[in-house]
């Protein structure tokens, strides 16, 4: 079974998502998308698989989103894709693809809904937030 994560190791959400995938018993294909950005075709495929728009995949925080004026609705989907390809930091993360679905995993525990084995046991995020308690219950 193949699971792929488009990952930024500097991002806590991305690190937590990767840890949950590994704790499920899977070793995913890890694509550090800032080093190896997806092609236009792959980006379109991922957006389609997630059932979202290019605008919904845009990341604002820590990116040139504001200086490029990407909040303006004048930009077409094709133009937004062009910005993400020119500035991969604009692609929100982590994007995870499993045999069940593709999803932007924000928050990180969203990955549990698409893992073939979501029973990962107790899990606490990097920041100390408990996601799954010692009894195996998801904490909301």
Overall domain count for the chain: 1
Average pLDDT, the chain: 96
Task: Say what the pLDDT of residue 64 is.
Answer: 97
Residue 138 resides in a domain: no
Query: Which residue in the list 11, 81, 90, 111 is annotated as catalytic?
Result: 11
On whether the CB atoms of residues 15 and 105 are closer than 8 A, the answer is no
pLDDT band at residue 1, thresholds of 50, 70 and 90?
low
Domain presence at residue 137: no
Q: Percent of the chain at pLDDT above 90?
A: 94
- Assess whether the previous peptide bond of 76 is cis (omega < 30° from 0): no
CATH number, domain of 104, equals: 3.40.30.10
The answer to whether residue 11 is catalytic is yes
Tens digit of each residue's pLDDT (9 = 90 or more) over 61-80: 999 999 999 999 999 999 99
Q: Please check whether residue 140 lies inside any domain of the structure.
A: no
The continuous run of DSSP H or E covering 30 comes out as strand 29-32
Q: Which domain holds residue 113?
A: 4-132
pTM for this prediction: 0.94
pLDDT tens column, 7-55: 999 999 999 999 999 999 999 999 999 999 999 999 999 999 999 999 9
**Nearest to 5, CA basis, from 36, 28, 35, 37:** 28
Q: Is 91 helix (H, G, I), strand (E, B) or coil?
A: strand
- The pLDDT value given to residue 111: 97
């Amino acid at each position: 079974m193949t699971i792929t994560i488009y990952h930024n190791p500097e991002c806590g959400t991305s690190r937590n998502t990767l840890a949950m995938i590994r704790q499920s018993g899977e070793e995913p294909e890890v694509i550090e998308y800032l080093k190896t950005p997806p092609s236009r075709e792959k980006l379109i495929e991922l957006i389609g698989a997630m059932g979202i728009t290019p605008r919904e995949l845009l990341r604002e925080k820590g990116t040139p989103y504001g200086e490029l004026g990407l909040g303006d609705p004048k930009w077409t989907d094709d133009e937004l894709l062009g910005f993400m390809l020119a500035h991969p930091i604009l692609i929100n993360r982590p994007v995870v693809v499993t045999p069940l679905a593709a999803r932007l995993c924000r928050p990180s525990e969203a990955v549990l809904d698409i893992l073939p084995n979501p029973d990962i046991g107790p899990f606490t995020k990097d920041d100390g937030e408990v996601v799954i308690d010692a009894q195996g219950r998801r904490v909301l």
